[in-house]
Amino acid sequence: MSTPVVLILGSGPRVGLSVATKFAHAGYKVAIASRTGTGSTNDQGFLSLKADFTQPESVPALFAAVKSQFHSAPSVVVYNAA
């Protein structure tokens, strides 16, 4: 069985990061999406993706990036965008 993947849409320094850390400790591969995403892995080992949630048409590209990086679609998606 493959490692589960979580995609967190709207990952700020408080709630989003806390949720990401909790999933990582539970064994998930973690992708976070925010306005300040870098397109690479951050210090915590999370895939950091840049996203603008005022443009919903950009969301499918986030799923494609996660699938490309982890070779699996997200098994959990958390919407935390304000």
pLDDT tens-digit series, residues 14-35: 898 999 999 999 999 999 999 9
Mean pLDDT (the chain, rounded): 92
Both tokens of residue 14? Answer: 């408080």
CA distance 82 to 39: 21
Q: What angle do CA 47, 49, 54 make, to 5 degrees?
A: 150
What is the structure's pLDDT at 69?
A: 95
Higher pLDDT, 41 or 32: 32
CA distance 30 to 42: 11
Helix ranges (DSSP H) in the chain = 15-25, 59-70
Query: Can you give the pTM of this predicted structure?
Result: 0.91
Task: Match 């925010």 to its residue by tokens.
Answer: 34
Which amino acid is it at 49? L
